[in-house]
Structure 1
Amino acid sequence: MKSNFKFSNLLGTVYRQGNIVFSEDGTQLLSPVGNRVSVFDLVNNKSFTFEYEHRKNIRALDLNPQGTLLISIDEDGRAILVNYKSRNVLHHFNFKERCYSVKFSPDGKMFALATGRFLQIWKTPNATQDRQFAPFVRHRIQAGHFQDIVSLTWSRDSRFVLTTSKDLTARIWSVQSEDKDLASMTFAGHRDYVMGAFFSGDQETIYTVSKDGALFRWEYTVKEDEDEEDLSKYSWRIAEKNFFHTNQSTVKCVTFHPKSNLLIVGFSTGDFRLYELPSFTLVQQLSMGQNPINTVTINSSGEWLAFGSSQLGQLLVYEWQSESYILKQQGHFDSMNSLAYSPDGSLIVTAADDGKIKVWDVVAGFCLVTLEGHTSSVTAIQFAKKGQVLFSSSLDGTVRAWDLIRYRNFRVFAAAERIQFSSLAVDPSGEVVCAGSNDSFEIHVWSVQTGQLLDTLSGHEGPVSCLSFSQENSILASASWDKTIRIWSIFGRSQMVEPIEVYSDVLALAIRPDGKQVSVSTLKGQISIFDIENGKQVGNIDCRADIISGRHLEDRFTSKNSERSKYFTSIHYSFDGLAIVAGGNNNSICLYDIFNEVLLKRFIVSRNMTLNGTMEFLNSSRLTEAGSLDLIDDTGENSDVEDRIDNSVPGSKAGGDASTRRTRPEVRVTSIRFSPTANAFAAASTEGLLVYAVDEAFTFDPFDLDIDVTPQTTIDALKEREYLNAFVMAFRLNEEYLIHKVYEAIPISEIQLVSSSLPVIYVPRILKFIGDFAIDSQHIEFNLIWIKALLSAHGTYMNSHKHIFTSATRSIQRFIGRVAKDLVTVSSDNKYTYRFLMTTDGTAADMQDGVQEDQMSVDGLDSENDQVADSDEYMSAVSDEEEWTEFEKKKNKLSLQNPEVAESDDEELI
């Protein structure tokens, strides 16, 4: 079982707060998702999330015009500089003040920062500078506003910066001292916050937009009756005033594209408008919902517009010329309750308290469809075996079946009386579906074909909390508050074994894929493993010491002494049944080895300090006699009226926007599942849907289009004698035992055909595998046949891509060298025995014939080597011991003189 899982992607959340940014080529969109940054490739339909995390939610970010440096700043002013190409963190820096906006200059040499009412201009770190400890060097700081700066904009020549503020003014600043006389102007006249100020394409005009919907056009003109050649006589004057007439709505965000003179304005009602300037012509007016638009940006070509709304977590990319949506995404409004992988591992389905079910593409990271039908929280979801039908249970008293081909609800299951279903299990054959409830002690069983209630399984003496079916047979395991586990034969309508007693409340249950073991997570922090056939406990894992529970702000005790959440609420088996992954209402995801009962790896769910339970120690500077200062609700001190209004439900812990809740959200994992492909697992958490994968990136493979790449389908393909498909799928899964099984099961007569049909992308990995495998293998001729077939089929491609095959060819050379050396040793040992037998009487002739046959077999093996090693020196070295010794001396001498030449000489030998 592999344990080297790494964070791969964050799904289920597309936007939280802050600004969004297009890359310079306009094909990628960067969006802050809490304390991380996600990148959406709009052309290739892919997405990824940077692995690094901020201490708090990101407030501002920007990408330099060269597309090499990304800077992101959180709510406390802590910045992280990242190499955008390699995704590596370069530097951490603390500006020690809340930052509202950050922008790189068009030439990429500077970046401007709005911190409070000050404008800071910093030099961009570059490779030509001397290596210094602090790569951030401040160029200058400007002060002049009386309130916080709202936005900033660079001029096209990178000489000036426009800032807008809550003091109802905008100002222009010069970057260099020689331009100071040209930039000493305050743009006053607005009656509300100035939300944005922009230069025109020729920099002769400035547009300012205020929150109340006023647009002022400023021109750099000379005063009346003055000399036009004297620049000191010029000043900025209002040339025109226009108004949006927004009817009680206010401007929330605005951006301007100088090349096309296009102004895009977003309003608090969810509407956005496109104007052509300077004529102030309304081009389009559309709406993206009922919630305010918090940010807007436009790509460099002016074709795509991107909008973000934080209240519902919406992200929208709109092509205004064709009036079509490029991207329209929205996460769950409430916290996720359950997740399920499709049988081929390409889709993840999530269910949440908002009553919606979303289907996510694992590779693309986008939501494909949202299923709506439940009128209350969806508690559990599960696929049928074929992956075309999805079942869901809800607190609205129904279990629904969804068709994932037509994306519709085709069956509704309900009990005789209205009860809230909290657990769900589907038979592997897809014939029956079972559901349990906290309101009832029975398990309800329905027929999928007819929708009729077949049976109610009675026996539990408390509410049924967990249900799970075995994938190999129709064995149903159920757990209840009565501290028992019951095993049911669903078609026999009976219990297979006596109830299994558990000495604590069962929180989660999972059956091993082969149906022989069942594991439960208890309230005492134990994972107990039971044998289903005998009904006896065969293992127990104590998880309390492995769980990081964290400390809440209202706690009067440290996390070390905390008893809160020292247990797991969701567990799941791996495909091979050797490991189990667990998560709960804490900050830990633990991967356990079942046989040895040890912790393999622990993952931290989040480092976001805005969530309760992520810190082990509280900040002592924020603690008072009355408690932590972070618990004080200071929304009444906000300058904006809409920010002072609190519409949240008191004490509510559920919801999408953390900033509108009086109770701080807690870090927790509500559901966790292994992928059927065995190379990833996903966890539904407070931050979103976390995906951990073995490989760093998902590699596209044509076999993923029509074949379910799982270990079981690989074995099935091998039984069906589809050797090529089985071999490719084994390497896609990268399971060592599976590769060995398929490799040795391919008949010799099929090796030539499989090698010639093999995609070239797998040739280096297969050659490397054969080279490493053959060193300890006794099947010399079998391995040589494989090497010969691969070299014959792909020799031309290998010759033109030598850098890819360097490691593989060295492994093959090491194997052939070992074989050749063994043959020389055997030949030299038997040479004198052969001569002795030739001089004796009696059976000398028979002995001679036998030795000649042995010599012919050795020559035959040499001819096999000749296909790989096309070298006269090599072949002569194999035939005689003395020449082999000289060959070794020559090779060692050459490697000492020039290692690079020796490397190239080694490659020529193969």
Structure 2
Amino acid sequence: MKFAYKFCNLFGTVYRKGNLLFTPDGNSVISPVGNRIAIYDLKNNKSSTLPVEGRFNYTTLDLSPNGCTLIAVNEEGEAHLISMVSQRIIHKYRFKRHVSCLRFSPDGKHFAACKDNSVFVFKAPGPHSGEFNPFIMERVFHGAFDEITCMDWSSDSRVLAVGSKDMSTKLYSLEKLANFKVYSLGSHTDCIVACFFEKGSLDLTTLSRNGQVCVWECSIDMDSLQPWEPPVKKKREETHSDSEDDIDTSKAEENHAVEEVAAAESTNSDKLFYRRLARHYLCDLMKEEREVKLTCAAYHKETHILITGFSNGSFLVHELPEVNHIHSLSISDQCISSIALNNTGDWVALGCVGLGQLLVWEWQSETYIMKQQGHFNNMTSFAYSSDGQYIVTGGEDGKVKLWNTSTGFCFVTFHEHTSSISGVQFSRNRKFIVSASRDGTVRAYDMMRYRNFRTFASPRPAQFACVAMDSTGEFVAAGGHDVFEIYLWSMKIGRLLEVLTGHEGPVVSVAFSPSPASTALASVSWDKTLKLWNAVESGSSHETVQLTADGLCVTYRPDGEEVAVATLDGQITFFDCKTSQQTGSIEGRNDLGSGRSDTDLITAKKSLQGKAFTSLCYTADGSCILAGGQSKNVCIYNVAEALLLKKFEITQNRSFDAVDDFINRRKMTEFGNMALVEEREEQEGGSVAISLPGVRSGDMAARAFKPEVRVYCLQFSPTGQEWAAATTEGLLIYSLDTSMVFDPFLLEQSITPDSVRKTLQEEDWPKALMMSIRLNEPDLIQQVVETTRPSDVEMTVRSLPRVYLERALKFVASSLESTCHIEFYLIWVQHLVTVYGSTFQANSREAQVTPILLTLQKNLTKKYEELAKICDFNKYTLQYLAKLGEMKSAMKVPEEMHIDSLTGADDG
């Protein structure tokens, strides 16, 4: 099995903190998600994540006007220059301090970054400057008395307005102007949140934290700004007289006086000053709530629409310069942290840090374009559907969410549970899902109507720590955390069938055998035992296997003949289900790795002795196993050889705890680690120490919250093309990267792309297909498949030897997802499955075609749903066209009969 997996996408987290952006076309939203950057395509309803990872969380972003260059700055002031074409980091620059604001100039030639009370202006890399890697600094402005909070460029990219916490807004000119100097605007009584220039003018609008809006009018036009020219020194007139008394100076003095008067008049007429036209108080619209603060704002200069967000979760829409109130909406009770407008000014993107919420609202029609929210706390468990098309996740916030793997969006959220989710499962027929929670209930949800149709509970209250469902979907089992029993329910009748007793500690993991003819059940507990049950046939009778340490996780091999158990001592042990004998063991503690937390008093090497794997998952063929736990590493082992094949590092984000093995000595003092002290604003209560001793999750209300990196759950997709890990960051998807790997099959020296195309021109379809499969180039195989005539597909398929069958079906199944030739590929699928159906059934385990058939089912289902939507939308149009065709055909029949009768009469 190939392990060329690379990071593909991030689910479960849509927004962390920072500013939101729209692409220049206005169809996509760019959102910082921790140390990654997500792009949500609103037109095609898809999400993607850039293959770029920072060392800390990104907080400040900006996109160049042409949409080709993105600059992202993280918490530590490290700026990354990212190409949106190649999606790679081109250059890095260290500001060494937090960057509060970053803006490209409208002409794209410069960008400005604000650090502390200074503004740094750089030449933007690209065709304007001719340079792509270095950041060339052009100007530095010092003038603010406190930290800068906002910034805006004028339309001609010559003047910069900068607002700061000193309650003033200062204007700087990029180049030296004759009639412009550094100008300062006051009149506010709180720190400046936003400032905006009008289009084609130097008129300005400033907003402060207490909701004040000041509209300023400039005395001169933008075209009146004249470049400064150095004074020309006049040469003294030469005379031929030997004495100075002969020189006439009266005429020269008169000319100089006239020039000074003219210069003074022109200076007074072109002198720049601002006049405040109006002051408005936006917080007066929220009379019921006091202490509401304005947190962010966005302005669309073409339509003069101003959007303001507040700390109570409300946002207002106004029209400038009269500040007419148009619309208001409350999206939550948490603070709105970022607002962005698209190029037309119709869509408003809103980000909420407290809930991890991202909304796109069309204010004119008052409808949601996108409404996404991740889990409020950590994601604890997830499961794939049988065809790999959907993922169900459960979190500590008590919510169960359904995600579409092709789009990356959550489309259903269930809120019935009142405590954290401990396990979720998909039924084999994909008709319902099951979730277990610490609230003492196991619930089943219908996938057709999206409702809770079954609720299972134990005879006495119990907190369920795990859940499992058999392959037929008829039985559901859940293990108790405080009551050491396993409960078995029937899904059809909704009743408790059996209570399995025998464990002497919390039951932390249960698993049903994946074999269709078996109802075997395996369970592990903290009492250092593995128990094998057959509850349906023999009730509570079981077989007990002693473990070396507390059991943490159990999983079955896909054929159901072996189980793997992860224990607290860092080992993975394998047992035969029939004989209960140990067949192998892997010592994985050293491979797991462990970082040193800020609160740890021991080294990372010492703390590694307390780490273990908490999640296991077999690959589709059962030859390898995926393991993860209390670490940032995910390991893949070969089961037969007990060897580590590959190790994946899920994150490099130093904003999480326990990522580094060593603590920076600069943070260590005689009083302890300075990282334990959090710097906060005065309005938030000043500096507060972080969590109490022994507290893992932290108190979000009063103390700092720096979560540790953990892998909570792992699972392979049924198609075998990807695997996912539920981590502290969210749900990370890793897929096979086939584009960068040359993997030929039975290759010979005579097989080249030119020879394949030559065979294709000779119309020898079977030979050309076999040669392209042996070369294993996707583009070449696609050319051969799509060149074959539909009438020759059956002959080509029947001429294929059996060894090429699996690869041909795999290519056709994967190509069906993106192709527009649906009927043509369905012809290939029909003949491949029809001709070799018996071979698949007889050698399914040997050929390992189950993941391929699941991929085929997933893509066929997707195409069916897409076509069904189109047909439902155009149902009446299709009926009209069909009826019109029947009428035309009915009209042709009498005409043909009339012509035949005339022809017969002439013949007679």
Band of TM-score, shorter chain: 0.7 to 0.9
Give the structure 1 partner of residue 144 of structure 2.
145
Gaps of 5+ in 2: 222-263, 747-764, 787-796, 813-908
Give the structure 2 partner of residue 400 of structure 1.
443
What is the Cα deviation at residue 767 of structure 1?
7.1
2:734 is equivalent to residue 692 of structure 1: yes
SS in 2 for 1:360: strand
- Asked if the contact 2:677–2:688 (Cα under 8 Å) also holds between the matched residues in 1, the reply is no
SS in 1 for 2:434: strand
Give the structure 1 partner of residue 39 of structure 2.
39
SS in 1 for 2:273: strand
Q: Tell me the distance in 2 between the aligned counterparts of 1:299 and 1:176.
A: 30
The share of aligned pairs that are identical, in percent, is: 38
- Asked if the contact 1:333–1:655 (Cα under 8 Å) also holds between the matched residues in 2, the reply is no
2:53 is equivalent to residue 10 of structure 1: no
Give the structure 2 partner of residue 475 of structure 1.
520
- Asked if the contact 1:653–1:664 (Cα under 8 Å) also holds between the matched residues in 2, the reply is no
Map 1:330-349 onto structure 2 (within 5 A).
330-349=373-392
- Asked if the contact 2:347–2:360 (Cα under 8 Å) also holds between the matched residues in 1, the reply is yes
Q: Tell me the distance in 1 between the aligned counterparts of 2:698 and 2:601.
A: 26
- Asked if the contact 1:334–1:654 (Cα under 8 Å) also holds between the matched residues in 2, the reply is no
What is the Cα deviation at residue 439 of structure 1?
1.8
Q: Tell me the distance in 1 between the aligned counterparts of 2:513 and 2:745.
A: 26
Alignment equivalent of 1:612, drawn from 642, 647, 657: 657
Give the structure 2 partner of residue 872 of structure 1.
none
Map 1:748-827 onto structure 2 (within 5 A).
764-765=780-781
Alignment equivalent of 1:581, drawn from 619, 626, 635: 626
Give the direction of change, closer, same or farther, for the CA distance of 1:72–1:406 in structure 2 (3 Å limit): same
- Asked if the contact 1:652–1:663 (Cα under 8 Å) also holds between the matched residues in 2, the reply is no
AA aligned to 2:347 is W
Q: Tell me the distance in 1 between the aligned counterparts of 2:580 and 2:744.
A: 32
Give the structure 2 partner of residue 704 of structure 1.
none
- Asked if the contact 1:476–1:488 (Cα under 8 Å) also holds between the matched residues in 2, the reply is yes
Give the structure 2 partner of residue 237 of structure 1.
275
Gaps of 5+ in 1: 699-733, 738-750, 771-778, 795-910
Map 1:452-463 onto structure 2 (within 5 A).
452-463=495-506
2:697 is equivalent to residue 654 of structure 1: yes
Give the structure 1 partner of residue 166 of structure 2.
167
Alignment equivalent of 2:182, drawn from 165, 181, 184: 184
AA aligned to 1:553 is D
Deviations 1:525-584 (A, max 9, x none): 111111111111111111112112111112233323333553110111111111111111
What is the Cα deviation at residue 154 of structure 1?
1.2
Give the structure 2 partner of residue 668 of structure 1.
710
Deviations 1:436-466 (A, max 9, x none): 1122232111111111111112232333221
AA aligned to 2:342 is N
Give the structure 1 partner of residue 210 of structure 2.
212
- Asked if the contact 1:161–1:173 (Cα under 8 Å) also holds between the matched residues in 2, the reply is yes
What is the Cα deviation at residue 363 of structure 1?
2.1
Alignment equivalent of 1:419, drawn from 457, 462, 475: 462
AA aligned to 2:607 is S
- Asked if the contact 1:263–1:274 (Cα under 8 Å) also holds between the matched residues in 2, the reply is yes
Q: Tell me the distance in 1 between the aligned counterparts of 2:689 and 2:599.
A: 21
- Asked if the contact 1:379–1:423 (Cα under 8 Å) also holds between the matched residues in 2, the reply is yes
AA aligned to 1:597 is A
Q: Tell me the distance in 2 between the aligned counterparts of 1:493 and 1:780.
A: 49
2:410 is equivalent to residue 367 of structure 1: yes
Map 1:305-704 onto structure 2 (within 5 A).
305-472=348-515, 473-494=518-539, 498-563=543-608, 565-635=610-680, 638-641=681-684, 653-654=696-697, 661-662=703-704, 664-695=706-737
Q: Tell me the distance in 2 between the aligned counterparts of 1:610 and 1:101.
A: 20
Give the direction of change, closer, same or farther, for the CA distance of 1:7–1:115 in structure 2 (3 Å limit): same
Give the direction of change, closer, same or farther, for the CA distance of 1:696–1:324 in structure 2 (3 Å limit): farther
SS in 2 for 1:545: helix
Q: Tell me the distance in 2 between the aligned counterparts of 1:532 and 1:222.
A: 86
What is the Cα deviation at residue 214 of structure 1?
1.2
TM-score by length of 1: 0.75
What is the Cα deviation at residue 125 of structure 1?
1.5
SS in 1 for 2:537: coil
Q: Tell me the distance in 2 between the aligned counterparts of 1:571 and 1:735.
A: 32
- Asked if the contact 1:154–1:162 (Cα under 8 Å) also holds between the matched residues in 2, the reply is yes
What is the Cα deviation at residue 103 of structure 1?
0.9
Q: Tell me the distance in 2 between the aligned counterparts of 1:497 and 1:367.
A: 41
Q: Tell me the distance in 2 between the aligned counterparts of 1:23 and 1:488.
A: 57
What is the Cα deviation at residue 358 of structure 1?
1.0
SS in 1 for 2:536: coil
Q: Tell me the distance in 2 between the aligned counterparts of 1:681 and 1:642.
A: 44
Q: Tell me the distance in 2 between the aligned counterparts of 1:335 and 1:673.
A: 17
Give the direction of change, closer, same or farther, for the CA distance of 1:316–1:605 in structure 2 (3 Å limit): same
2:88 is equivalent to residue 88 of structure 1: yes
- Asked if the contact 1:174–1:180 (Cα under 8 Å) also holds between the matched residues in 2, the reply is no
What is the Cα deviation at residue 131 of structure 1?
6.6
Give the structure 2 partner of residue 854 of structure 1.
none
- Asked if the contact 1:487–1:499 (Cα under 8 Å) also holds between the matched residues in 2, the reply is yes
- Asked if the contact 1:565–1:586 (Cα under 8 Å) also holds between the matched residues in 2, the reply is no
- Asked if the contact 1:333–1:656 (Cα under 8 Å) also holds between the matched residues in 2, the reply is no
- Asked if the contact 1:27–1:42 (Cα under 8 Å) also holds between the matched residues in 2, the reply is yes
Deviations 1:410-450 (A, max 9, x none): 00001110111101110111111011112223211111111
C-alpha RMSD of matched pairs (Å): 3.4
- Asked if the contact 2:209–2:295 (Cα under 8 Å) also holds between the matched residues in 1, the reply is yes
- Asked if the contact 2:499–2:540 (Cα under 8 Å) also holds between the matched residues in 1, the reply is no
What is the Cα deviation at residue 652 of structure 1?
5.1
Map 1:36-75 onto structure 2 (within 5 A).
36-75=36-75
Give the direction of change, closer, same or farther, for the CA distance of 1:661–1:511 in structure 2 (3 Å limit): farther
Give the direction of change, closer, same or farther, for the CA distance of 1:72–1:282 in structure 2 (3 Å limit): same
Give the direction of change, closer, same or farther, for the CA distance of 1:488–1:231 in structure 2 (3 Å limit): farther
AA aligned to 1:107 is D
Moved more, 444-453 or 229-238: 229-238
What is the Cα deviation at residue 479 of structure 1?
1.1
What is the Cα deviation at residue 89 of structure 1?
1.0
What is the Cα deviation at residue 653 of structure 1?
3.6
SS in 1 for 2:16: coil
- Asked if the contact 2:698–2:704 (Cα under 8 Å) also holds between the matched residues in 1, the reply is no
Q: Tell me the distance in 1 between the aligned counterparts of 2:674 and 2:799.
A: 75
AA aligned to 2:337 is N
What is the Cα deviation at residue 783 of structure 1?
7.0
What is the Cα deviation at residue 74 of structure 1?
0.9
Deviations 1:312-347 (A, max 9, x none): 111110111111111111111111111111111111
- Asked if the contact 1:389–1:403 (Cα under 8 Å) also holds between the matched residues in 2, the reply is yes
SS in 2 for 1:416: coil
Deviations 1:579-628 (A, max 9, x none): 11111111111111212211111111221212111001111111112221
Q: Tell me the distance in 2 between the aligned counterparts of 1:644 and 1:563.
A: 32
Deviations 1:734-782 (A, max 9, x none): 9989xxxxxxxxxxxxx99x99xx9xx9773267899xxxxxxxx9985
Give the structure 2 partner of residue 289 of structure 1.
332
Give the structure 1 partner of residue 750 of structure 2.
none
What is the Cα deviation at residue 230 of structure 1?
4.8
Deviations 1:653-698 (A, max 9, x none): 43797x9643531110111111111111111111111111113899
Give the direction of change, closer, same or farther, for the CA distance of 1:655–1:628 in structure 2 (3 Å limit): closer
Q: Tell me the distance in 2 between the aligned counterparts of 1:470 and 1:264.
A: 56
- Asked if the contact 1:506–1:520 (Cα under 8 Å) also holds between the matched residues in 2, the reply is yes
Q: Tell me the distance in 2 between the aligned counterparts of 1:257 and 1:285.
A: 17
Give the structure 1 partner of residue 749 of structure 2.
none
What is the Cα deviation at residue 632 of structure 1?
1.7
